[in-house]
A = this chain, B = another copy of it.
Amino acid sequence: MRLRLTRHGVCIPGFKAAGARSGKYGVALIKSEAPATAAVMLTSNKVKAAPLLVSREHAGNEIFGIIANSGNANAFTGEAGMRDARSMCSLAAELLGGSAENYLVASTGVIGRRLDLARVESLARRAAQSLECSPQASEAAARAIMTTDTFPKLCSVEAVLEDGKRYHVGGIAKGAGMIAPELRHATMLCFLTTNARLERDELEEALAGAVKQSFNRVVIDGDTSTNDFVALLANGSSDCEGEGFQEALNLVTQTLAKSIARDGEGATKYIEVRVLGARSDAEAELAARAVAGSNLVKSAVFGGDPNWGRIVAALGYSGAELVPEKLSLYVGTKGDERRVCLVKEGKPLAIEGTQELKAAEEVFSGREIYITAELNLGSGRGEAYGCDLSYDYVRINAEYTT
| Contact A46/B110 with A222-B222, A295-B222, A389-B394 known, Cβ cut-off 8 Å | no
Partner of A321, one of B46, B221, B305, B402: B46
Digitize A51-65: 1 where CB-to-B-CB distance is under 8 Å, 0 elsewhere.
Answer: 000000000000000
A76 at the interface (CB under 8 A from B): yes
The answer to whether A113 and B223 touch across the interface, beta carbons within 8 angstroms, is no
Partner of A312, one of B178, B226, B325, B402: B226
Q: Which of A77-105 contact B (CB under 8 A)?
A: 77-78
Q: Give the residue among A73, A221, A309 with the most B Cβ atoms within 10 A.
A: A309
Q: Tell me, in angstroms, the Cα distance from A92 to B311 when the chains sit together.
A: 32
Q: Tell me, in angstroms, the Cα distance from A3 to B61 when the chains sit together.
A: 67
The answer to whether A300 and B222 touch across the interface, beta carbons within 8 angstroms, is no
Q: Tell me, in angstroms, the Cα distance from A43 to B226 when the chains sit together.
A: 32
Q: Tell me, in angstroms, the Cα distance from A299 to B317 when the chains sit together.
A: 24
Q: Tell me, in angstroms, the Cα distance from A182 to B319 when the chains sit together.
A: 11
The answer to whether A78 and B325 touch across the interface, beta carbons within 8 angstroms, is yes
Partner of A300, one of B113, B313, B315, B397: B397
Chain B residue contacts of A366, Cβ below 8 A: none
Closest-CB distance, A246 to chain B (whole angstroms):
28
Chain B residue contacts of A162, Cβ below 8 A: none
Chain B residue contacts of A43, Cβ below 8 A: 317
Chain B residue contacts of A307, Cβ below 8 A: 110-111, 400-401
Chain B residue contacts of A402, Cβ below 8 A: 303, 305
Closest-CB distance, A152 to chain B (whole angstroms):
23
The answer to whether B295 and A111 touch across the interface, beta carbons within 8 angstroms, is no
The answer to whether A75 and B317 touch across the interface, beta carbons within 8 angstroms, is no
Partner of A305, one of B45, B177, B398: B398
Q: Which of A20-56 contact B (CB under 8 A)?
A: 43-47
Residues of A within 8 A of B (CB): 43-47, 73, 75-78, 110-114, 177-178, 180, 182, 221-226, 293-296, 299-300, 302-310, 312-317, 320-322, 324-325, 343, 346-348, 351-352, 389-391, 393-402
Partner of A313, one of B111, B303, B325: B111
Q: Tell me, in angstroms, the Cα distance from A352 to B112 when the chains sit together.
A: 10
Chain B residue contacts of A343, Cβ below 8 A: 76, 112
The closest CB in chain B to the CB of A325 belongs to B78
Chain B residue contacts of A224, Cβ below 8 A: 313, 316-317
The answer to whether B401 and A296 touch across the interface, beta carbons within 8 angstroms, is no
Q: Tell me, in angstroms, the Cα distance from A77 to B312 when the chains sit together.
A: 12
Closest-CB distance, A112 to chain B (whole angstroms):
4
The closest CB in chain B to the CB of A75 belongs to B309
Closest-CB distance, A289 to chain B (whole angstroms):
12
The answer to whether A324 and B47 touch across the interface, beta carbons within 8 angstroms, is yes
Closest-CB distance, A267 to chain B (whole angstroms):
12
Chain B residue contacts of A310, Cβ below 8 A: 111, 223
Q: Give the residue among A78, A113, A302, A316 with the most B Cβ atoms within 10 A.
A: A316
Chain B residue contacts of A296, Cβ below 8 A: 177-178, 221, 223, 397
The answer to whether B294 and A112 touch across the interface, beta carbons within 8 angstroms, is no
| Contact A299/B47 with A224-B317, A312-B76 known, Cβ cut-off 8 Å | no
Chain B residue contacts of A398, Cβ below 8 A: 299-300, 302-305
Known contacts A111-B307, A222-B293, A304-B398; 8 additional CB pairs below 8 A are: A46-B315, A47-B313, A112-B312, A112-B343, A223-B295, A296-B397, A299-B393, A300-B400
* A-B CB contact pairs (8 Å), 21 listed: A43-B317, A44-B317, A45-B316, A46-B321, A47-B324, A73-B309, A76-B348, A110-B307, A111-B309, A112-B343, A113-B348, A178-B296, A222-B294, A295-B393, A300-B400, A303-B400, A303-B402, A305-B399, A305-B400, A305-B401, A390-B394
